[in-house]
Structure 1
């Protein structure tokens, strides 16, 4: 692995014959020797390549070897390159001491000892290769650490998502059992009362008026059960991309009037008043059943959270197509909860006692999006909410989405 690491060596001398002689001594497998006859040439090579060792002649015209070494030590890219000085000057000039002061790791006297030169170059080349191998190992360890951290973060996110899903499942099962139990308890109680009256042969308990009231109660309880089942089925269809949209041409304003009229009994029972403004025809291509479902969900929420204050419903044309507004004057929704309420199994904070699975707005938003439209909410806590549905007019008269 060490021998596979290529090493670059730099030799600097103003005499070509010295360069050739030194190159012959130090070249070898896995080594590339670069030659420079001046400090300027050497600097250009130092900026372009990464060297394992630089061998500098001290005495050169222009910038000498000591000055070149000082420049190398002052540059980030070259300051860690080992420097070996070579000089033919006598020892009395104290060049060796000056060379070590300039940052050299060794000093060689000419004429050069071939074995000493080869041995020293081998040492520095091996050190360079070992350092490169260690750097690669450190980089590999760092990459591995980062990958492990990323994997750990993903595992934590998955664990949190799993825990959230488990909480949602438990909450959902709790809500479903509560919501299903309510109409079932009503049906069971009515059945037991009727059975008791029959056992007593009490014919007065089964007059036409009382039977009509019984059937009306039964129908309301069954409709509640059917709606719960349909909501859960719709969530499943949305998740699997199988929510069907069967568009046809109809008047949106007329549909709004019909849906509001169908809520008349609930309005009387809940002691609400509701005004509707939908005189201008808005003819477009939508799934009538699904749009009715959206409007029914919005009206149901207005009745649940409107605190018995007047409810306003409007349908009117806009540049984008048709728009439906449902405004209540009830408890309102805080800004931080206005996006949350469109998620599955979510209801307004502080409304846990209110009936419902928290699916209505989620399903409604998916239906509106399937029509290419949007649903928006504007609300202030304590002042009520305005839900708006905007639908493009659409084209054609069929094609499931």
Structure 2
């Protein structure tokens, strides 16, 4: 089986979903800019216009940073806290900067208050978010009284619009979190399958060697004790130890051979299933029938490494695996569309090891990249 380590930042599907979520959240940021900007156009005092513009712009920048952090789970926690503290500080400053703008004519600060209520559920737990909303509403009432505006109008904008924005933002971020968790669950499932396979092999080896090594240890100890008093019997026991060791070695080799005698069709199906479970569309025609076991073993090793690379080192949407037999040569091609800008790593230990392994059997491993399509091609002679 193939193990996988998923990073949301390196996954094409998650990256697109994250971009869509950010774009949707950005509409709220534009609301926090454009609707308060209406107040700037209705303010005759140039000083207030300048101060209000500074406050609105600073609020929009810090709000953008907080929303970015909300859909970036791999972001450093310290950076996330700094963004939240920055938004809180700027929100306090907007009261004297933006509150007096278009006083009594347009509820300029009330729109910023709505944005604060809308973003609160993304930053704190529901009880704390309710406390933040209550505090923002109190500030809106205070600003209305200070500027001579309508308290009802300020509360309607701050509370009504704020709750609507909170509902939209909360749903978007909740859905994004579900996508991340589902992707991480797929990766964990693939890692668990690989771990179970390793444990199964370890149990088989333990069962094979456990009894034999125990008997060998007992007979070797007996031979050591008999050597001074009964050399002839000690020699027989030593001969028996040698026979048991040879027998155990044969059993281990047979066990390992059982694992090496792979069914290439099953290997193809297993790798394809892991790729599909991780969101990669996989096309795998059946392999040629009656391939020699030696060829199947070599191709299976290449297949496992190629599948691992697709999951670990690329951002693939699709993968095509094909095995063809051309007279005395079997050719396997693995292509995917997720090559990054760096292209294939010429110093990759996995690919280099496979190339050396195939070369020892007269085969060859080649890789190339064309645009975003990375192709691995392995050839193995039927008769070495």
Q: TM-score, normalised by structure 2?
A: 0.31
Task: Considering fraction of residues, name the structure with more strand.
Answer: 1
Rg bigger for which structure? Answer: 1
Q: TM-score, normalised by structure 1?
A: 0.30
Which of 1 and 2 has higher RCO (CA within 8 Å, sep 6+)?
2
